[in-house]
Amino acid sequence: MKETKFIKQNQQKWEEFERLSQNKQKDSKQYSKLFIQITDDLSYARTFYSNRSVRVYLNNLAQNIFHKVFNHKKKKKSIFRNFWLEELPSIMFHHRIELLVSFLVVIVAIAIGILTYVHDPSFAKKILGADYLAMTAENIAKKDPMAVYKKNGPIEMFIMIVSNNLMVDVLIFFSGIFLSIGTIFILIRNGLMLAAFQYYFIQRDLFRESFLAVWLHGTLEISAMVICGAAGIVLGKGLVFPGTYSRTQAFFSSAQRATKIFFSVLPITFVAGIIESFLTRYTNAPDILRLGLIVCSLFFILSYYVYLPWLKNKNGTLKAIEAEKVLPENFEPFEFFRIKKVSEIIIETYRFFRKYTGIFFEIIAIGSSTFIGIGIFLNKKYLLDNIDLTYNSFANLERVFAIQANNIFTYFFPILFSYLSIRILYLFQLEWNQQQNEIKLSFTDWCKINWIKIILNIILQAINFSILANTELSMYALFFFLPIQFIGAFVLFFPFKEKRNILSSFLNILKSGFMNLFAIHLAFLLFAMAIYFLIYDTHLIYFIYEAINMNFDDAFIDSDVIYLILFLITNSILILISSILFCIYQGIFFFSQRELQSAEGLMQQLNQIGQKRNHVLQK
């Protein structure tokens, strides 16, 4: 049929359709009938008049009606709204027992702390420290017992307080990995500190003043601590009570819910820091205003975390908890050509670590032994002169990373990071060769073929280390530079099919997914920092040091050397485990972004479909 005849034959129908689509009141039956006819005409036009204007006209007409039909479809709730109003309340109701346990642990710890203080007045000194009590006594003598909240400027105080409180939250949460016992231990310790602090003022008839000042921010701060405690207990529950899953699968299932509870606390901690920094300092404010803010804070916590889940369950509107992704027991091949979400990359990282656990333990053993050997035999003088053996702080780790001529670690770290990244790159290469049916090479042969890339990677890791060291492991470096430490290595060894230079490939990988990368890195960085502070903040190293020191005379081994050995063991293992996890997740992120930009996997699937179709036609 000629195009003019086709248009003339259907013109009246199309005009009627246009007129009907412009009316506010529509005959749904007539509308549906015409829409079906229009799409039939469009199919005909695409076949016989593909390059003519009639096809464009019909396509626009059909598209217009399609949008009008489906624009009343209920829009999917935003992820943000769904999380806070649906998902989190359901999780909190499901884990209401863990929340109650966390609360009771803190209450019991406070009661024990008060009873201990009553029978032993020196208890406060042991818990809070002599310097802090001396400062508080001096402030009381000056008739300003809450002067500690006015000592620094609000901005400086805000940064300091929020950083400290976040570390406490992280420590409480990640301590749950130790069968939930670690979380309970940290909660007890903080409960004892709270009891000692509050009862110190009660003994001096300063309860009203201390209550209105401390609980102005403490209502949210302590509530956040209790909720983090619940998250930590949930985290360890999968290991203790795996149910029908294996312990590893149960742990990762519970970890996903626990992480959501933990992240819900971070805004509360942030607001508590604002109140403590900017409002608590005004101790002369009317009591009714301060008490009102305390009541409002308590009302919010109880309403959202206790009452809302209960109400939703009572009304039957509580959302059923979605089944979490669990790690498969059988290790399937790594998916190079699939775009992954943040949660999938985190789970895939641990799955990859489990799959090659033996190799990673070998890397940790070799790297840690070398690190300790260099520290004891080659770098001993520098470490003993620069590390503070009397105080466990993050500054000690900064001095290990410092670039100085007499610090042998300056030359060791680039080699360590290069060795670690090359071993992990080889594992990804093995997965790639297996799936692409390519020849499997030994690690030595692979290194010989890629020796130029290996040299470039060493240079790249040297540059990375120099940036880390020169920033003195600042928060900016930890949060914004570490996430890209190993991505350059993957760009080197797994280039895009289309010709791109390394820099443009690197920037393109980051451009489309940096926020996701930051979120993934935050999860692993918090995990690493929690383990670090769990070891040092709980004085675990000090207890081990004292136990060894009690059984060995200084004539046999110097006590400083004992501490140095413990310091090197713990820090080397922490650095290696963290770096391995960082390298794995950055590799998985790289391949996800690579597929997003190049669609290599999609093109392969389309080619396979085309080959199958040709094969069928030939038959």
Residue 76: strand, helix, or coil: coil
143 has a pLDDT exceeding 50 = yes
Residues 453 and 595 reside in one and the same domain: yes
Q: Token match 């930590």: residue?
A: 232
Q: How confident is the model at residue 617 (pLDDT cuts 50, 70, 90)?
A: very low
Residue-wise pLDDT for 318-375, tens only, equals 877 655 555 555 677 888 888 888 888 988 998 899 889 999 999 999 999 999 999 9
> Last residue of some domain: 315, 333, 350?
315
Residue range 180-200, pLDDT digits in tens: 888 998 899 899 999 999 999
Give the model confidence (pLDDT) of 188-236 as tens digits. Answer: 989 999 999 999 999 889 899 899 999 999 999 999 999 999 999 999 9
What's the CA gap between 210 and 149, in Å, rounded?
Answer: 12
Q: What is the pLDDT of residue 67?
A: 61
Q: 0.75 cut: is pTM over it?
A: no
Q: Of 406, 397, 493, whose CA–CA distance to 441 is shortest?
A: 493
Euclidean distance between the first and the last CA atom of the chain, given in angstroms as a whole number? 33
Most confident of 330-334, 422-426, 506-510: 422-426
Residue of 103 and 605 predicted with greater confidence:
103
CA–CA gap between residue 101 and residue 184 (Å, rounded): 9
pLDDT in tens, 118-128: 988 888 888 88
220: in domain: yes
What is the pLDDT averaged over residues 266-279?
93
CA atoms within 13 A on the CB side of 132: 13
Q: Are residues 84 and 8 in the same domain?
A: no
Q: Is residue 123 within 8 Å of residue 208, measured between CB atoms?
A: no
> Which residue, of 52, 70, 88, is where some domain finishes?
70
In a domain, 531, yes or no: yes
In a shared domain, residues 309 and 353: no
**Which residue range is the domain that position 287 belongs to?**
80-132+153-315
289 and 370 together in one domain: no
User: Does 94 lie in the same domain as 62?
Assistant: no
- What is the greatest pairwise CA distance in the chain? 109
| 403 and 297 inside one domain | no
Helices (H) and strands (E) in the chain, counts: 28, 0
- In contact, 261 and 91? CB cutoff 8 Å: yes
Question: Could you tell me where the DSSP H helices lie in 175-241?
Answer: 181-202, 207-240
171 and 104 both lie in a single domain: yes
Q: For the ranges 72-81, 449-458, 477-486, which has the lowest average pLDDT?
A: 72-81
Q: What percent of the chain has pLDDT over 70?
A: 84
Is the domain of 52 the same as that of 112? no
pLDDT at residue 175, as a whole number: 85
Average pLDDT over residues 592-618: 67
Domain count, the chain: 3
* pLDDT (0 to 100) of residue 387: 83
pLDDT of residue 572: 92
Report the candidate in 225, 184, 224, 186 with the shortest Cα–Cα distance to residue 101: 184
The whole-number pLDDT of residue 563 equals 79
C-beta separation of 190 from 107 below 8 A: no
pLDDT band at 31 (very low <50, low <70, confident <90, very high): low
Q: Do 240 and 108 belong to one domain?
A: yes
- Please identify, among 300, 315, 330, the residue that sits at the C-terminal boundary of a domain: 315
> Do both 494 and 375 map to the same domain?
yes
The reply to whether 113 falls in a domain is: yes
Q: Judge if 456 and 538 occupy the same domain.
A: yes
Please check whether residue 75 lies inside any domain of the structure: no
CB distance 17 to 34 below 8 Å: yes
pLDDT, averaged across the chain:
84
26 confidence band (pLDDT: 50, 70, 90): low
pLDDT reported for residue 578 = 93
- What is the rounded distance in angstroms from the CA atom of residue 280 to the CA atom of residue 283? 6
Residues 48 and 91 in one domain: no
